[in-house]
Amino acid sequence: MLTEFGWQQMRVAASLDASFSATANTPHWDTVISSPLFRCREFAERAASAAQTICHVEEQWQEIDYGDWDGMPLNQWRREAANQFRAFRQDMTALAPPNGEDFMSFKTRILTAWQAICVRQESSHVLVVTHGGVMRVVLPSVLGMPLNRSFPLHIPFACLSRIKLTWADDKVSASLIFHNGAAYREAN
């Protein structure tokens, strides 16, 4: 569940005012897609309402399933999962939370969802409300980075990244227009 500060961060990222009304900087989203997890879905539904469009809740955009680690206090998680996360930083295929989703299955799920967006030529603006782990798969794909090199990417809470898709000869290319744009707007 988002705190009031979390709501504020998300509204700033999406250029919505405190009442979820569009501002002059708000793009017109034709489509809003959300992870099914409540912290994303609730915001996405409000953003879709502000844009006068429908929110599509899609299971594929959910964060990796951390299994037994989900909901664990951070200090306990760091203790119990430390060795796997050290290995994960060297080789992302090493992440396999007990009773959860291994990283390679997660990566395949996310890239399949991303591919579905890449073929949506009929929409001009799609807002996807999702999670940091998801962005750690999509952004390296867009940038042509090896996934194992994605850790330097700073992906804070309420991070807004814009990706432009262009189609030519039935091929799509993606360009990162900006990353963490909300923080940039707040700083200026």
**How far is residue 151 CA from its own chain's centroid?**
15
Residues of the chain with CATH 3.40.50.1240: 1-7+29-64+104-156
Cα-based angle 31, 33, 38 (whole degrees, multiple of 5): 140
Of 70-74, 102-106, 142-146, the one with minimum mean pLDDT is 70-74
Please state, in angstroms and as integers, the Cα–Cα distance from residue 54 to each residue in 1, 34, 119, 160, following that order.
21, 11, 19, 20
What pLDDT, on the 0 to 100 scale, is given for residue 117? 92
Q: Identify the CATH number of the domain defined by range 1-7+29-64+104-156.
A: 3.40.50.1240
pLDDT digits (tens, 9 = 90+) for 14-61: 666 556 555 556 667 889 999 999 989 998 998 898 888 999 999 999
What pLDDT, on the 0 to 100 scale, is given for residue 153? 85
What pLDDT, on the 0 to 100 scale, is given for residue 188? 46
What pLDDT, on the 0 to 100 scale, is given for residue 28? 79
Tell me the average pLDDT across 87-104: 81
**82 pLDDT above the threshold of 90:** no
Please state, in angstroms and as integers, the Cα–Cα distance from residue 175 to each residue in 77, 84, 101, 156, 179, following that order.
35, 32, 29, 20, 11
What is residue 17's three-state secondary structure?
coil
Q: Work out whether the CA dihedral 119, 61, 137, 95 comes out positive or negative.
A: negative
